[in-house]
Structure formats: C-alpha cells, structure tokens
Amino acid sequence: MALIAALLPIDEQRKALGEAARGHDVAWAEDWRDLLRLVKARPAVAAVADLHAERGKDGVLRIYRFSQRFPLTPILVWGDLDGRDLFRLGKAGATDVVPGADSRNRLLVEEMVVDALADQLADRLDHALRSRVRREGRTMVRSATARITEGVQVPDLATAHEVSVSTLERRCEQWGLMTPGRLLLWLRILYGLQWLLEPGRSVESVAGQLGYSSGAAFRRAIKATVGGRPTPLRNARAFESAVETFVAECPGDVAIRRALGS
Amino acid sequence: MARYDRIARLPPPAREDCFPAWLSLRDLQDHEREPELGRRARLRFLALRPLRRLLLRGLEGTSEDSLRLQVDGVRDEIERLDERDPERSRLIDYLTEIGGRSPQGLVTATLDVGAAAEGAGHSYAAEEFYRTGLELAREHGLPSQEARALRRLARVHRGREEWEAAVALGREAASVAQRAGAPVQWAMALEEVARAETGRGDRARGRAVLDEVAQRGRAEENDHLLAVAAAARCALELGADDFDLAIREGCRAVELFPPTDPHRNRALLDTAAALRRVGLWAAAEACYGVVETHSTWVEHRAEAATERAVVAAERGDAPGFRRRRERILEIVDSGDLRLRALLHVGLGRGCLIAGDVDEGREHLRLAISSARDADLESLLVSADELLMALERGQRLTSPRPRPASPESRAAAAALQDGFGARVTAGG
C-alpha cells in the first residue's frame, strides 16, 4: 500500500482518484504549500495535483517548484489543460498529465497511477539479486520493499508469509538472503538514502517516515551498514555504492552460484 | 509576468526527460501565447497519447475500453476542425488505424500525420510523429517503414540545420533499406544524406554520395535509382549555380522517372528554375505547365502556377503576369499556411518585378503573416527582405540570365519535344 499526496479541490476529481488508486492511501492537501509539506512530512511516493487548484496562482510554477524539490517523486497533473499549459508543464518537470476528458476514463487513470507508483528501487534490487537469490527470496524482498514505508517488522513479514519468525530466518538462509532483520535494516537505509537525494526532504523527516526516533538514530543506522565516509547522505554516487554493498552482502543461493560457476 | 518568465526561460527538455508525446508541443517555444498554434499542438499531443501508451505498456498491458475512450475523445475534438484543414483527415485516418491495431496501417498513418505537421512548418510535432512511427515499425519488424521514418527524421533535422543528426539518420535509413532489400528507399535515404552534406557546406561529399547511388543504378540497370540520383544532383547543382549541369541532370531525371511519380514533378520544378537562370523561359514555362496540369500534389501545383506567373513578369509580360495572378488568387484561399506563404511570396515577387507595388506589398504582408503563424523561417526571411526592398523604393528586376550552353539549349528543346510527344500520345 503506497501513499499518494493529492491536491484536487473538486469532489469529482477526488472520487475519480480514489477509485483509480483503490488499495492505496491518499493524503489530501489543502493548497500547493500543503502539498509540498505533505510530501516532505509523509512517505508519499507520488503526487497528483489539479493545475488550477488555487485561483490566481500559476500552477505550472508550483509544479516546477515541486519537481525541483522532489525530482524523484512522480507528479501527475490533472485539469483542463490547453496547449500552452501542456507545453509549460513539460518544461516544469511534470511526470505526466491527465487532461480534461481523460480524468473520466477510470481505466486510464488507474493505469497512470500504477505507472506513477512503480517502485524503481524495488525493480532494481530485484534485477541485481537475480544472479544470486532464488525467486522465492526475491519475492520476499519485494513484499518487504512494498511495506517499507509502513514500518514493517520481521514478525509482520513472517505473518505475511504464513511462517514463524525462525522458519523465515531459515528460509532466508536457504534462498541466499541475509537475515530478515538485517534485510529490513538495509531496505530502510536504501529507501532513506534514495529519498534524501531529493532536496525537499530532510534527514529528520525521512528518519521519521522510516520509523526512527530521530535523525541521529537514522544516521547511526547508516553508519552501521553503509559506513560513514564519504557521507552517503545526498550523494548519488554513495547511494549507488550502497546498493552494490547490499547486493554483495547477500550470501547468495549455493545452487545458483554453482550453476553460474562462481 | 515575472512568474511567467520563470518557466519561459527554462530550456526545452530532451524528449526522453519529458512525459510521452511532449515533443509534439515544442513548436510552441517562443510562440506559447498563439492560440491557434496552441490548439493544434494540443490536438496532436492528445492524438499521440493513446499510441504512446500502447508502445509503453504493450497490447497486453492496455485496456481496449480505455484505449477506445481515449481515441473517441480526441476524435470528437478533431472533427471540430475546419473540413478544409489538410491535417484533419489525416488525423482521423490515424485514429481509425489505432482502433484497428494493424501495425502496417498504423505506421503509415502516423507518418502521414507527421508529414502534415512538417508541411505546416511544425518540425517538432513532425519529429514526434516520425519517432513514434519509427518505434512502432521496429516493434513490429517493418523495415521498409522503419527506413521511411528514419529518412523523414533526417529531413526534419536537415530542416533545422542539425546536419550531424541528419546525416546519421539518413545513413541509418539507407542501411535499414539495404537490409530490407528496398533499393529505391536506399537511394532516397542517400539522397537525404547528400542534401544534408550539401547543406552543411560540403558539396563534394554530397556529389560523392549521389555518385554512389548512380553507380548502383547503372550496375543494376535500375532507372529509378538513376532518376533519384539525377534529380538530387539537379537540386544540388542549382544551389551551386551550375545551371547547365543542373539542366542536364534535371532533364535526365525527368526522362527516367515514370510520369506518375511525384518526384518527377519536383525534378521538373528544379529544372525549370535552372532553365530560367539561363534565359530558357519557354522551356521553363513548359515544365511548370506540366506540373500545374498533371501533379496530384497541391503544393507542387501551387508552386508551378506561381512560378509560371513570375516567369511572365521576368520576361516583361506584365499583363500576362496579372492574368495568371488573378487565376491563382482564386485558389489561394487554402487552410495550409505553408502553401499560402509560398504563394504570396511568389506573387509578391512577381508584382514587384511587374511594378505593381501596392499589390506586392499586400502579398508580402500576407506571406509574412502566414509564415510567422506556421514558423516558416526561410519564407519569412524572403518575404521580409522583399518588403524591405519595396519600402526602400527599390524596383525589383529579374535576375539577368546567364548565356545558355548549346547542350542546355538542346536538352531544353528535347524536353519540350518530349512534352509535346506525350501530350499528342495521350490524345
């Protein structure tokens, strides 16, 4: 279940998004400023906004500011959009647009929401683990990434897989993964580091979103996994290196490694 | 105002960094407050979206109902366009093809809409349609269509003076056509390469590329390849002011192309332009007459009619020019801005030569307005220059023709005889 931050003042729009994003949470913003605040304060993975949400305000400029602060968070723009709006929205960095009539096409909006919610980090980890971890293990990683913003813990994972915590630990070993506790720690760190690549997010807010008691606690967790130098915060290269370290730390399935001759 | 300027100042993003089909809106750069252009750009964008989604998600990932709703929504808006609008029918055909989901038909229709946008001077919209057609052709393994899309993309880049890209795309088109076993497509792709090489100032390389086409045409005894090479060489030599050579190559192309081939008309227009420069007006008028009568392309017919009228002015036959101008004005009410700009520039020039200053000024103003609306830089510059000359009180004279070589005279006579023979043979 993902969280979508939305600024849609018209009831019909809210209803349409609610239906298209069934199964996900929507946090409603009051105005443009509130939308920025929401995304900063809560783990929203996508945003939706009506370009004409506030009378007298240049919505395209607000979208531009949003995309500058949250370049990795997709933003879908709704509304009656003329050619000039569409042209300017492209320059401003909108992820996609839902012009006029399309917003009444529930299937299309549903597809667009699904596209916007695509978790690229999860896809990337799945791809990187393909040569080391068997399918069941990767499915488990997927289920953990899908719930990372909900503060998922090891017992929750075990329950979701209908096994006990000790069985889950044994299975992780068989699949070539690290222990479930270590896995969740790593995933929190990787998602946190990724969010921090966006200038609009602060260490404190990201730490809070991931369930840490403070920014300092989050920093300590980073140091314990990724290391402290060079600082991995707001550092794209260090984030790439953290992903590689995570993959390397997974012991790997013996059978897969044998098959690959390593 | 300050807020507006903030976005306007941003550089246009690269196609891959923007939402699907945004490139089709890029013609609005520096023209974003023009309502007609904005409306047209939006319609093209909306028309492209269902196809872009099909490409992104594949047939399996796209709901048929959703696709139908999208297509119907755009169709309703497009049907509100003026029925004389040249893009209207192409867009409707294209939307019908999306509903039908036949890859071959869909690629053709997509490229056709691109050509209409290109004709209107909207090169980014054309590029987006061509790129979409290209992706679709690749997705469905249609190499001949792929080569066609690549060649048109090369032409778009050439039009924007992006020579490197034009040459690279033209070469790629040639190599795809070669693999597909389509020699005419291959020759036309290399013709595009030659034009780009010439455009960037390397005529020698342009000639070498055309020689390659001619060589293959001779080796395979393929008249069509020889015709393509000769027609392109005619245009190249015309630009190089070697009119005798242009006439020789042009006459050869006219002889080799089948009479129904639209490229033959382009060769006739270029040959006529070269004939005028050496004072062989009667032959030039005969060429224009053939195009005016037989071409199925309105652009070719309009250019031929206008230039034929201007030839009368150049020959000092002002009443003849005025008669022809009147006839052209009856057909000038076209929704195609490029065509209007082209006609008015030509007629404006003719009026200035004939000494009809007021009419000339009116034509040039109309040309400037159409060229500006359609963002046709070269026509705009021509019209501006002519208007400036007029306002400075300069009398425009026809360019003094160079003496024609005996070979050019003979080629022109043979060409005219050929037209006569064909007309007689045709009844």
Give the CATH number for residue A185: 1.10.10.60
Q: Is the pLDDT of residue B182 over 60?
A: yes
User: Looking at the structure, do residues A79 and A137 belong to the same domain, yes or no?
Assistant: no
Residues of chain A with C-beta less than 8 angstroms from the C-beta of B41: 83, 86-87
Of chain B, the end-to-end C-alpha distance in Å amounts to 68
Where do the H-state alpha helices sit in B240-294? 243-256, 262-277, 281-294
Q: Which CATH number is B142-266 given?
A: 1.25.40.10
Residue B155 has pLDDT above 50, yes or no: yes
Q: Please report the pLDDT score of residue B378 as a whole number.
A: 77
- B12 Cβ under 8 Å from any chain A Cβ: yes
CA distance A174 to chain B (A): 34
Cβ-defined contact of A84 to B38 (cutoff 8 Å): yes
**Distance between start and end Cα atoms, chain A:** 38
User: Is B421's pLDDT higher than 60?
Assistant: no
Same domain, A15 and A101: yes
Look at A86 and B63 and tell me if their CB atoms are within 8 Å.
Answer: no
Q: What is the dihedral of CA B145, B149, B155, B158, to 10 degrees?
A: -140
Q: Same domain, yes or no, for A109 and A140?
A: no
Q: Kindly state whether residues A102 and A225 are assigned to the same domain.
A: no
Q: Of the candidates B65, B123, B130, B129, which has an alpha carbon nearest to the alpha carbon of residue B99? A: B65
Closest chain B residue to A101 measured between Cα atoms?
B73
Q: How far apart are CA A147 and CA B420, in angstroms?
A: 82
E strands in B75-208: none
Of B10, B41, B66, the CB nearest to A108: B66
Give the chain B residue whose CA is nearest to the CA of A96.
Answer: B19
- Give contacts of B18 with chain A, Cβ < 8 Å: 90
Does A92 contact B57 at a Cβ distance shorter than 8 Å? no
In terms of CA atoms, which chain A residue is nearest residue B41?
A: A83
Interface test with A, best of B9, B24, B40, B42 (most A CBs within 10 A): B42
| B28 contacts A87? CB cut-off 8 A | yes
Which residues of A, range 103-142, sit inside 8 Å of B by Cβ? 105, 107-108, 111, 115
Contact: B38, A64; criterion CB under 8 Å: no
* For residue B422, pLDDT beyond 70: no
CATH number, domain at A34? 3.40.50.2300
Query: Distance between CA B226 and CA A206 in Å, rounded?
Result: 68
Residue B25 near chain A (CB below 8 Å) = yes
pLDDT band at B335 (very low <50, low <70, confident <90, very high): low
Do B180 and B144 form a contact (C-beta atoms < 8 A)? yes
Taking the CA atoms of A64, A66, A67 and A69 in sequence, report the sign of the dihedral they define.
positive
pLDDT per residue of chain A (262 residues) written in tens, 0 to 9: 789 999 999 999 999 999 999 989 999 999 999 999 999 998 899 999 999 999 989 999 999 999 999 999 999 999 999 999 999 999 999 999 999 888 888 889 998 998 899 899 999 999 999 988 989 999 999 999 999 988 899 999 999 999 999 999 999 999 999 999 999 999 999 999 999 999 999 999 999 889 899 999 999 999 989 887 767 888 899 899 999 999 999 988 877 767 766 5
- pLDDT of B86-112, one tens digit each? 788 899 999 999 877 688 999 999 999
What is the per-residue pLDDT across B261-283, written as a single tens digit (0 to 9) for each?
889 999 999 999 999 999 999 99
pLDDT class of B294 with cuts at 50, 70, 90: confident
Q: Which residue has the tokens 């027609």?
A: B231
Q: Is B223 left (phi over 0), alpha (psi -120 to 50) or beta?
A: alpha
Partner B contacted by A19 (CB < 8 A): no
pLDDT of residue B101: 66
Domain boundary among A117, A139, A170: A117
Of B13, B38, B57, the CB nearest to A82: B38
Residue A2: closest CA among A110, A97, A155, A113: A113
Closest-approach residue (CA) in chain B for A106: B66
Smallest CA–CA distance, residue B345 to chain A, in Å, is 30
Alpha carbon of residue B237 to chain centroid: 19
Number of H-type helices and E-type strands within chain A: 14, 5
Please indicate, yes or no, whether residues A141 and A46 belong to a single structural domain of this protein.
Answer: no
> Are A54 and A70 in the same domain?
yes
Q: Does B7 touch chain A if contact means CB atoms closer than 8 Å?
A: yes
SS3 call for A98: strand
- Rounded to the nearest angstrom, the minimum Cα separation between B317 and chain A is 48
- Does B62 reach chain A within 8 Å, measured CB to CB? yes
- The DSSP output letter for A25 is E
* Count of CB atoms situated within 10 Å of the CB of A261: 5
> Which tokens hold the place of B45?
């964008």
List the single residue in B28, B56, B65 with the smallest CB-CB distance to A83. Answer: B28
A111 & A126 share domain: no
Domain edges within chain B: 16-141, 142-266, 291-402
The answer to whether residue A97 neighbours chain B at the CB level (below 8 Å) is yes
Can you give the pLDDT at residue B4? 53
Contact B7 A81 (CB under 8 A): no
Tokens matching residue B132: 């979409």
- Does residue A91 sit at the B interface (CB-CB below 8 Å)? yes
Q: What is the pLDDT of residues B115-128, one digit of tens each?
A: 989 888 899 999 99
Residues A69, A108: one domain? yes
Indicate yes or no: CB of B19 within 8 angstroms of CB of A58: no
Work out whether strand A25-28 and strand A44-50 pair parallel, antiparallel, or are unpaired. Answer: unpaired
- Residues in B closer than 8 angstroms to A84, CB to CB, are 28, 32-33, 38
What CA–CA distances, in Å, run from A139 to A1, A123, A151, A237, B115?
16, 11, 18, 27, 48
Q: B42 and A101: CB-CB below 8 Å?
A: no
Q: Distance between CA B294 and CA B288 in Å, rounded? A: 10
pLDDT at B426: 30
- By Cβ distance, the residue of B3, B13, B33 closest to A84 is B33
What distance separates the 2 farthest-apart alpha carbons in chain A?
A: 65
Q: Which of A86, A87, A102 sits opposite B70 (nearest CB)?
A: A102
Tokens of B252: 């050869």
Is A96–B19 a contact, with Cβ atoms under 8 angstroms apart? yes
Residue of A58, A83, A91 lying closest to B10 (CB–CB): A91
ipTM: 0.87
* Domain count along chain A: 2
Query: Using one digit for the tens of pLDDT, what is the confidence trace for B336-386?
Result: 777 888 899 999 999 998 889 899 999 999 999 888 877 677 788 888 988
- Looking at residue B427, its pLDDT comes to 27
* Nearest chain B Cα distance for residue A234, angstroms: 22
Residue A104 neighbours by CB under 8 Å, 6+ apart = A16
Confidence of residue B425 (pLDDT cuts 50, 70, 90): very low
Q: Does B22 contact A at CB distance below 8 Å?
A: yes
Pick the residue with more confidence: B395 or B58? Answer: B58
A82 touches chain B (CB under 8 A): yes
Domain end residue (candidates: A75, A95, A117): A117
Task: Kindly determine whether residue B19 and residue A60, on different chains, have CB atoms separated by under 8 Å.
Answer: no
- The shortest C-alpha distance from B28 to chain A (Å) reads 7
Q: What are phi and psi of A48, to 5 degrees?
A: -135, 135
Collect all residues of chain B within an 8 Å Cβ-Cβ radius of residue A61: 3, 6-7
Flag whether residue A27 sits within 8 Å of chain B, measured between CB atoms: no
Contact status of B38 with chain A (Cβ, < 8 Å): yes
For residues B49-67, average pLDDT: 86
DSSP string covering B300-363, please? HHHHHHHHHHHHHHHTT-HHHHHHHHHHHHTT---S-HHHHHHHHHHHHHHHHHHT-HHHHHHH
B61 vs A contacts (CB less than 8 Å): 111
Say yes or no for a CB contact (<8 Å) between A82 and B69: no
- Which domain covers residue A27, as residue numbers? 3-117
